[in-house]
């Protein structure tokens, strides 16, 4: 683990012949590197150009430890000003590890990746877990090693943990209030005075298009969603960060409720299935698209397990939707939100999870899918504003 990789920071020119923390009088080995550096630093500025640095490496590469040579090459590539600092040069050759050189070491490992991450031995339990996450989510060895070297656990995967805690808290609260933890949605009071559930009669309350994700139909509904979002969402957040995973999850939730308001206009919606299905479908699509590169164990069995869980949960939702309601004329919650989440996952999600540390703003496909998603949101907003009245639908009474 270490600092996040990036361009090496520049440092002020050091007095030639003196390194950070060195006592007066250079040791013989450091004096030798000083002489080499001074051959190219004719102006005694404390810097040499990248071109001179390459010449130095070509002339004296055999005298440099291969790993250090890789690190210096990476340092030369990442310096934005095209210069190599004397202080950095001497610190590296003298085995001093400043922050800039830790970054350079990580960059060098990412460039060459001579040793597969699976061949690393003597790892702690935490290190093995991070390595496991890398192989579960990333298709390229270069990205797996880069993630393994950089991941510090700070911040932790807080988004998925916070969402899970809130979902459990609301479920337990309503379970105690209703004295029911299985198929809560069949209780006559489940929808009544609930400020979170999306209901077609209350569609003007915009927060319900997102807040419904904290409510679940029963313990079986909550259980499947929580298991999937923790098994898939937490590793994805560790690798891709809370911003990307949170965006994908929220986009799936929003697409789910809007899809219901368009395709199943008379039904309420509960559950986080839209967000969960967005994460899982994006992850599974990423595995399929990078099948040869994915090195996770039993990947076919894992995919089958995820698909079976999703299918069972979706089947439960379809059955419940058409099951006789305990409080007619209001029907049971819709299952269309699941399909909205899947569509978000295999479009936006695949682009977001394609590579590690990608720059999404530089990818045309990202903008195409984002434009399609925004167009759908705009269409759904207009639909909710006018279609219900134009179609003269008989909506169920508000809870």
Candidates 211, 273, 281, 334; catalytic one: 273
Distance CA 351, CA 396 (A): 39
Rg value, the chain, Cα: 28
* Phi and psi, residue 378, nearest 5°: -65, -45
CB within 8 Å of 178: residues ≥ 6 apart: 184, 187, 189, 190
How far, in Å, CA of 248 to CA of 242, rounded?
10
Euclidean distance between CA atoms 393 and 391, whole angstroms: 5
Contact between 134 and 357 under an 8 Å Cβ cutoff? The reply is no
Catalytic residue among 216, 221, 332, 338: 338
Task: Kindly report each contact of residues 314-323 with a partner whose C-beta sits within 8 Å and lies 24 or more positions away, as own/partner.
Answer: 314/273, 314/338, 316/220, 316/221, 317/217, 317/221, 317/271, 317/273, 320/183, 320/185, 320/217, 321/264, 321/267
From residue 139, how far is each of 136, 254, 292, 293 by CA, in Å?
8, 29, 8, 5
Handedness of CA 366, 371, 372, 373 (dihedral sign): positive
Angle (CA) 302-222-177 rounded to 5° is 165
Question: Are the C-beta atoms of 139 and 299 separated by less than 8 Å?
Answer: no
49: phi then psi, degrees, rounded to nearest 5: -75, 160
Q: Residues 46, 16: contact at Cβ < 8 Å?
A: yes
In angstroms, the CA 376 to CA 368 distance is 12
Is residue 338 part of the annotated active site? The answer reads: yes
DSSP 229: I
Q: List, by residue number, the catalytic residues.
A: 273, 338
């Amino acid at each position: 683990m270490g600092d996040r990789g990036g361009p090496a920071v520049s440092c002020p020119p050091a007095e030639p012949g003196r390194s950070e923390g060195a006592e007066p009088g250079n040791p013989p080995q450091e004096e030798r590197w000083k002489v080499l550096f001074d051959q190219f630093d004719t102006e005694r500025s404390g810097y040499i150009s990248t071109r001179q640095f390459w010449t130095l490496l070509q002339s004296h590469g055999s005298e440099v430890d291969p790993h250090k040579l890789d690190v210096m090459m990476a340092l030369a590539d990442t310096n934005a000003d095209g210069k190599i600092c004397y202080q950095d040069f001497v610190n590296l050759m003298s085995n001093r590890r400043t922050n800039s050189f830790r970054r350079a070491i990580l960059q060098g490992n990412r460039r060459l990746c001579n040793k597969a991450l699976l061949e690393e031995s003597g790892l702690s339990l935490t290190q093995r877990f991070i390595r496991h996450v890398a192989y579960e989510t990333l298709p390229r060895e270069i990205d797996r090693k880069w993630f393994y070297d950089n991941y510090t656990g700070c911040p932790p995967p807080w988004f998925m943990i916070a969402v899970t805690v809130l979902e459990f808290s609301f479920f337990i609260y309503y379970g105690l209030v209703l004295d029911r933890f299985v198929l809560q949605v069949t209780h006559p009071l489940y929808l009544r005075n609930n400020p979170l559930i999306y209901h077609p009669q209350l569609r003007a309350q915009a927060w319900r298009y997102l807040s419904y994700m904290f409510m679940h139909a029963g313990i079986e509904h909550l259980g499947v969603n929580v298991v999937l979002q923790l098994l898939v969402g937490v590793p994805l957040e560790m690798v891709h960060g809370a911003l990307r995973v949170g965006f994908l999850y929220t986009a799936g939730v929003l697409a789910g409720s809007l899809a219901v308001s368009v395709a199943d206009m008379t039904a309420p919606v509960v559950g986080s299935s839209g967000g969960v299905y967005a994460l899982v479908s994006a992850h599974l699509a990423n595995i399929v698209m990078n099948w040869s590169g994915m090195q996770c164990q039993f990947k076919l069995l894992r995919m089958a397990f995820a698909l079976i869980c999703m299918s069972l949960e979706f089947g439960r939702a379809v059955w419940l939707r058409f099951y006789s309601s305990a409080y007619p004329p209001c029907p049971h919650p819709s299952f269309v939100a699941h399909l909205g989440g899947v569509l978000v996952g295999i479009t936006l999600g695949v682009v977001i999870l394609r590579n590690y540390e990608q720059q999404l703003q530089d990818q045309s496909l990202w903008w195409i899918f984002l434009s399609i998603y925004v167009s759908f949101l705009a269409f759904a907003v207009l639909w909710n504003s006018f279609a219900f009245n134009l179609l003269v639908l008989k909506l169920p009474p508000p809870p």
